[in-house]
């Protein structure tokens, strides 16, 4: 659970704010019950229960959008009810809700909730003694909402930038190994429950070390970037391509049979052969592939494709091998040794 909270910052915020709010409201509910303020105690307890439900759901499922919207609704509605029943003593909670709504939901959704809560607050009877008090509350609520909205937009923008930096390869712009591992885990899970079949291909540039050694790393980087562009162009609607590292690329293809995977690998091999050029001329790739089977972990599936890639390299490069399918080299009859005639 701790690892999930560390990986998903939005989930961590929802859980932290939610549990803190539940604990705080529970303490106030007990205090007000001891003071005989049963209506206020009931409101505090009810809000705590309503907040605890979405928080527990988020903790169990890892989802944040639905629980975040429910928490915003509960916070805003509960705050309005508390102001109606308790009166001006609940006003500090309003400003806290106006700010925290932006942490548990999207900026635009939180803005709508805040506007509704502020309008409700201003029209509550007996909430403000003088018109200047109502005006002051409106101005403070507007400023809190404005500053929180701008801050939330900046945080959201920074988060997207960091996500791109953590998930995209700088040289090719393709998803990196981190994204590949997530995609393969999902593919294995779908295969296990029989929802979709996937094929895995690993492509490796042939004689890449010679390109680097003879023409420099700039030429090698150019070859990698061009190969990434070719593979991305050749991907179909539900196919994905990743930069695995070095001169290796991984493709997750939506195919049903090993034969379909072999046809796709040959199509990709030919596209690279016809389109990828370096300082010395044509650059080719070798490909190894495997269909998802009964593997429990994506690493096992990846190993099958990696072994097929090794066979493709041994077959002279510029070739493709699919695990479980014979290659032309395998199908050639072997010559038996001549019999020894005494």
Phi-psi region of 283 (alpha: psi -120 to 50; beta: other; left: phi over 0): beta
In tens, the pLDDT along 170-185 reads 999 999 999 999 999 9
Catalytic residues: 247
Residue 338 pLDDT exceeds 80: no
Q: What is the DSSP letter of 237?
A: T
316 burial level (CB within 10 Å; 0-12, 13-18, 19+): exposed
What dihedral do alpha carbons 203, 223, 185, 6 form, nearest 10°? 160
Instruction: Tell me which DSSP letter residue 256 carries.
Output: S
Q: Which fold has domain 177-326?
A: Alpha-Beta Plaits (3.30.70)
pTM for the model = 0.64
pLDDT tens for each residue of 257-275: 999 999 999 999 999 999 9
Residue 145 pLDDT: 95
Would you state the pLDDT for residue 303?
A: 96
Spans of all domains in the chain: 2-167, 177-326
Tens digit of each residue's pLDDT (9 = 90 or more) over 88-116: 888 888 999 999 999 888 899 999 999 99
Q: pLDDT (tens digit, 9 = 90+) per residue, 197-246?
A: 899 999 999 999 999 889 999 999 999 999 999 999 999 999 999 999 89
More confident residue, 50 or 206: 206
Residue 334 backbone phi and psi in degrees, to 5 = -85, 140
Listed as own residue / partner, the contacts of 247-250 with beta carbons closer than 8 Å and 24 or more positions apart are: 247/204, 247/205, 247/208, 247/220, 247/223, 248/202, 248/203, 248/204, 249/174, 249/202, 249/203, 250/180, 250/200, 250/201, 250/202, 250/203
pLDDT at residue number 87: 85
Which of 38-42, 190-194, 205-209 ranks highest by mean pLDDT? 205-209
pLDDT at residue 339 is higher than 80: no
What is the percent of the chain with per-residue pLDDT over 70, rounded to a whole number? 93
């Amino acid at each position: 659970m701790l690892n999930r909270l560390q990986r998903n910052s939005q989930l961590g915020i929802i859980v932290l704010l939610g549990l803190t709010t539940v604990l705080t409201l529970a303490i106030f509910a007990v205090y007000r019950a001891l003071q005989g303020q049963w209506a206020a105690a009931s409101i505090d307890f009810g809000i705590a229960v309503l907040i605890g439900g979405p928080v527990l759901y988020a903790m169990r499922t890892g989802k944040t959008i639905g629980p975040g919207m429910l928490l915003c609704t509960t916070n805003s509605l509960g705050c309005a009810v508390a102001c109606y029943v308790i009166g001006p003593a609940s006003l500090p909670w309003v400003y806290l809700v106006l700010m925290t709504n932006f942490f548990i939901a999207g900026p635009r959704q939180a803005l709508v909730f805040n506007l509704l809560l502020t309008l409700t607050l201003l029209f509550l009877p007996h909430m403000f003694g003088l018109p200047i008090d109502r005006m002051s509350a409106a101005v403070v609520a507007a400023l809190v909402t404005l500053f929180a909205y701008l801050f939330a937009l900046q945080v959201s923008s920074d988060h997207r930038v960091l996500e791109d930096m953590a998930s995209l390869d700088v040289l090719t712009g393709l998803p990196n190994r981190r994204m590949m591992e997530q995609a393969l885990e999902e593919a294995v899970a779908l295969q296990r429950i029989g929802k979709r079949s996937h094929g895995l291909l690993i492509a490796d540039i042939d004689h890449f070390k010679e390109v680097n050694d003879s023409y420099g790393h700039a030429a090698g980087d150019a070859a990698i970037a061009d190969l990434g562009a070719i593979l991305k162009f050749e991907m179909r609607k539900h196919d994905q391509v990743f930069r695995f590292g070095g001169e290796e690329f991984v493709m997750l293809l939506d195919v049903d049979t090993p034969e379909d995977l072999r046809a796709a690998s040959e199509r990709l091999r030919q596209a690279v052969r016809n389109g990828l050029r370096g300082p010395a001329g044509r650059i080719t790739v070798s490909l190894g592939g495997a269909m998802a089977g009964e593997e429990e972990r994506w690493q096992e599936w990846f190993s099958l494709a990696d072994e097929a890639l090794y066979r493709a390299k041994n077959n002279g490069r510029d070739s493709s091998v699919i695990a479980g399918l014979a290659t032309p080299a395998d199908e050639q009859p072997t010559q038996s040794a001549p019999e020894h005639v005494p």
